[in-house]
Amino acid sequence: MAITNMDQLVAALGRDTGNTPEHESFHKASATSKGAGTYHSLWAVGGQPGAAAYPGASVAWSLLTKATAGSPDYTNPTSANTYLAHLSAVGSVGHNLILYDRLAQTGALTGTTTANTFTGQPTLTRTADALGADVELWIEYITATTTSVTVTATYTDQAGATGNSATVVSAAASAAGQMQPFNLAAGDTGVRSVQSDAHATMTAGTYQLVLMRRLAEIPIPVTNSGNVLDAFDLGMPRVYDDSCLALMMVSGAVATGIIHGSVLLAKG
């Protein structure tokens, strides 16, 4: 079953479908970012949900679910789909908040190791993820790195073509929790899997690679203000069963500020 008309939307937002909608609130403490205009992960930041633990050193990929520490452990519907029907946020600094499904991640990779061949290639099971059409590849810094280098990842694209190269120029002096998106090869729209990466030495620090599916973005343009997006603003993106919901932001200041908000997961 899928929500295809207004009556079904109203039913999904109510409590007469046998699949009760759920509110999930989030509260995140302020974290130091690289600076204004950079992406910063809230995955390992304390608050609600609690901080996730970064993985130990490993070149293996692992799949993430709603049971993973750091994600709200909502209830999958019994016989329906789940949709994002409401998103609200308030921040102590201006920012752009991004809600996403954290699909898979590598273990911690050492910046001084200049090449990694990954194991345990995940089969992405949520949405068109198995084909990778809407999957993004990001680098997330676990501890601060030094030296700006080009990181090249070898990946399989959404069409199943192998050996493609994605690149990102790492920050000269990254902050822990900072994130950057990889640029895919021309014409590619997503990633099925990532086989390896290579770069010159970063001199210090650790990082990981993350595969994610973006769900929504909400702008908070004014300090100490908020914003609300309803089902129509959001376009009712589907939240697939067991999605690992996570947050990142583009900060308008050096620190990310305190962030509060909530989502409504409608089921129908």
3-state helix, strand, coil in the chain (%, to 5): 5, 45, 50
Give the pLDDT confidence score for residue 78 in this predicted structure.
Answer: 85
Q: How far apart are CA 58 and CA 46, in angstroms?
A: 24
Q: Residue 91 — pLDDT band, cuts 50, 70, 90?
A: very high
pLDDT, mean over the chain: 91
CB 95 within 8 A of CB 17: no
Asked whether 248 and 136 are in contact (CB, 8 A), the reply is: no
Q: What local confidence, expressed as pLDDT, does residue 259 receive?
A: 96
pLDDT greater than 70 at residue 4 = no
Categorize the per-residue pLDDT at 9 as very low, low, confident or very high, splitting at 50, 70 and 90: low
H/E run at residue 235: none
Distance of alpha carbon 46 from the chain centroid: 16
Q: What contacts 132, CB < 8 A, 6 or more positions away?
A: 124, 156, 157, 158, 190, 191, 192, 193
- What is the average pLDDT across 147-162? 96
Position 112 pLDDT exceeds 80: yes
Q: What 3-state DSSP class applies to 127? A: helix
DSSP state of 37: T
How large is the average pLDDT for residues 74-89?
92
Of 64 and 77, the structure prediction assigns the larger pLDDT to 64
Residue from 199, 171, 195, 31 nearest 122 by CA: 195
Specify the DSSP element, H or E, that contains 28: strand 22-28
pLDDT digits (tens, 9 = 90+) for 200-236: 999 999 999 999 999 999 999 989 989 999 999 999 9
Return the pLDDT at 173: 87
**Whole-number pLDDT of residue 267:** 87
Cβ atoms of 192 and 132 within 8 Å: the answer is yes
Peptide bond into 72 cis (omega under 30): no
Contact 93, 33 (CB under 8 A): no
Q: Please tell me the predicted confidence (pLDDT) of residue 3.
A: 61
Q: What is the mean pLDDT of residues 144-150?
A: 94
Q: What is the pLDDT of residue 95?
A: 93
Beta strands in 132-268 (DSSP E): 136-143, 150-157, 164-169, 178-181, 191-198, 206-220, 225-229, 245-251, 259-267
- CB neighbour list of residue 233: distance below 8 Å, 6 or more residues apart: none
pLDDT of residue 7: 54
**For position 129, what pLDDT does the model report?**
74
Mean per-residue pLDDT, 66-94: 93
Q: What is the pLDDT of residue 16?
A: 46
Cα–Cα distance for residue pair 266/2, rounded to 1 Å: 11
The pLDDT value recorded for residue 144 is: 94
CA-atom Rg of the chain in angstroms = 18
- Backbone angles phi and psi of 120, in degrees to 5: 60, 45
Looking at residues 3-16, what average pLDDT do you find?
Answer: 57
> Percent of the chain scored above 90 by pLDDT?
79
